[in-house]
Every structure is written in C-alpha cells, then in structure tokens.
Amino acid sequence: MDGKFMDGKFMDGKALAKQVRERTAAEVAEFTARTGRRPGLATVLVGDDPASAVYVASKRKQCVAAGMTDHHRLLPATASQDEVAEVLTELAADPEVSGILLQLPLPAGLDAGALVQLIPAAKDVDGLTTLSAGLLAQGRPGLRPCTPSGVIELLDAHDVPLEGANAVVIGRSELVGKPVAQLLLQRNATVTICHSRTRDLAEVCRRADVVVAAAGRAGLVQGDWVKEGAVVVDVGIHRTDAGLVGDVDTAAAAERAALITPVPGGVGPMTIAMLLHNTLVAARAQFDAQFDAQFDAQFDAGADAGTGAG
C-alpha cells in the first residue's frame, strides 16, 4: 500500500475521486479526438430537495469540466408520473445524450422504480434499471451503480484483499446495499447482507474483515462492533447539529480498524467520479454499436448490389 490516498488509516476519497476524474477527462479527450463526439450526461431533477440540488449541480459542473455535454432537465415537485416519463422518453431517444440519471429521492407520489425503467440500459449510467441489476447479478458486462463502484475503487486503491474475505454489508437498498454485495461477491468475498431484521448485528460485524455500512442510520456501527484490523467503509451521510456524520461512529471505529473512510471526504466524492466514468463507458459503447450497425448496413447493401463486398 503506497499511502497515496490515505491520511494515516483514513482512506481519502476526495483525492482518489480527483484522480478518477482526471483520468476520465483524458479519456474523454481521446474519445472526442477519435470520434468527433462528446459524451453527454442528462441529469433529471424533480422538485426542490436542497441536497439533491447540490448533488445535481456538482454532477453537471464535473461533467462539463471533464469535456462532456450537459443536458439538464428540472421539473417542479408537482410534476406528474407522466410528465417525468415524457422527459425520460425524450432523453432516451436523443442521440446527443449518452447517459441519463434520475436524481433520487423523488417527491412523494412518484414511482421511482417505474420511472427508472424508462432509461435504456445503454444509457443507464446509474446502473439502476432491472436489466442493469440483472446483468450485475449474473456477472455480465453492464453499467454498475456509482456509489458501489466507488466503494470497490477505494478498496482496490488501498490493496484491500477481497478474495475469501468476510464482507458484511449493512443495508439492502437497490442503490447501494444490493449492488455493493454483488460486486464484493464478484471479487470472491464471502458476503453477508444485514438489514433491520438481522439478529445480533454487532456480533455479525465483529466477524467481518470488511464492513460496508449503508444502513442510513447515523452512528449505527459502534467502535466495539469492529474487529481489530478490519476495513470499514462508511456510505452514510447525515446532516446533524454536529455537522456531517456517517453510519459509523468513526472516531471509535478508527481505534480498531486498519483502514476506514471518513465522512465527509470518503465514499461521497467517489459517487460523482464514477458517474463520469460510466458516462464515458456508455458513450463509447453507443459509438461502437452505431459503427457496427453502419458497417453491417454497408456490407449488406454491397452484397445486395452484387459488388462482391458481401
């Protein structure tokens, strides 16, 4: 471990996210020079949740800084299911848009699960559609959810051994818990998914080599839940009077952990960095698919005309 992304035992997500963004920007420049196209990211924000507005503004700014085009849609909190669906359907058909994300959570009354399905898997840069989730579950290529990919990127940057490791994931959301468990499984970890009905959560955690806390409960994971030398990844973000805190009692857990992510500055910044990476991956795949389709059409036309090209 070279300590590049670490301040003592704290894993520096901010520094690693910067490196991922810079690498992505260089690859975007190469893609644009080769194809004459720029990857385009469409962000869809419904309503006026202040945190969501900040996250979307940051996504848009970082996508432009990486050389991508910005296609933003803002809908009022009163927007109907059909109105949001119409916007997503329009973006799905727009050739300038490589990736679409519907910022979550949505205002009450909207069915996020149904709306997400309107995003074609090829443009699903959040990796949240049923098709993307199925491809991940089967270990087949596809776009992966951003925060879970960011968790794996952080673990890899710190050379955390996952093969055969006991990994405990706390939380079973579609956004983080389930996909991060799948990604850990793909890396041959022995994965336990815990949730609100898990019996003796503390004891399950104490057996973990790697803990990923994504329960959405401030300070849930206590210091004495952490095995000596374990790696702790905190996905939680809670605004409290004491400032931003995660799902882990960081100071207490850091007494025992070999490595731990801070909040803020741990997993959070990786989410947007991985979104940019996914948007580039989507743009490349769409370009290649279009190139192949054009080649096939020309090949077939040549065969029909009897030029011998077929």
**Active-site pick, 12, 62, 103, 234:** 103
Minimum CB distance to ligand LMY7XDAE, residue 195 (Å): 19
Sequence-distant (6+) residues with CB within 8 A of 23 are none
Question: Would you say 171 is a known binding-site residue?
Answer: yes
CA distances from 96 to 92, 104, 284 (A): 10, 23, 13
3-class SS letters over 135-157:
HHHCCCCCCCCHHHHHHHHHHHH
CB 244 to ligand LMY7XDAE: min, Å: 6
Please identify, using beta-carbon distances, which residue of 113 and 164 lies nearer to ligand LMY7XDAE.
113
Amino acid identity, residue 217?
Answer: R
Nearer to ligand LMY7XDAE, 84 or 272 (CB): 272
Residue 215 contacts residue 190 (beta carbons within 8 Å): no
Pairwise CA distance, residues 273 & 276, whole Å: 5
Q: Of the two residues 201 and 257, which places its CB atom closer to ligand LMY7XDAE in the complex?
A: 257
Judge whether 265 is annotated as a binding position. Answer: no
Contact 107, 52 (CB under 8 A): no
The stretches of 79-211 forming alpha helices (DSSP H) are: 81-93, 112-116, 130-137, 146-157, 177-186, 201-206
- Whether 274 and 146 have beta carbons less than 8 Å apart is answered as yes
Do 101 and 44 meet the contact criterion of CB atoms below 8 Å apart?
Answer: yes
Provide the 3-class DSSP secondary structure of residue 22. helix
Q: Is residue 59 annotated as part of the catalytic site, yes or no?
A: yes
Least distance between ligand LMY7XDAE and beta carbon 310 (Å):
45
Q: Catalytic annotation on 49?
A: no
Catalytic residue chosen out of the listed positions 12, 62, 124, 126: 126
Residue 173 marked ligand-binding:
yes
Give burial (CB, 10 Å; 0-12/13-18/19+) of 295: exposed
Rounded CA separation 3/15 (Å): 11
Residue number with CB closer to ligand LMY7XDAE (60 or 227): 60
Residues forming the site for ligand LMY7XDAE (CB under 6 A): 55, 101-104, 126, 146-147, 175, 237, 244, 263-265, 268-269, 271-272
Q: Give yes or no: 103 in active site.
A: yes
* Pick 101 or 143: Cβ nearer ligand LMY7XDAE: 101
Residue numbering of the annotated binding site: 171-173, 237
Residue numbering of the annotated binding site for NADP(+): 171-173, 237
Q: Catalogue the active-site residues.
A: 59, 103, 126
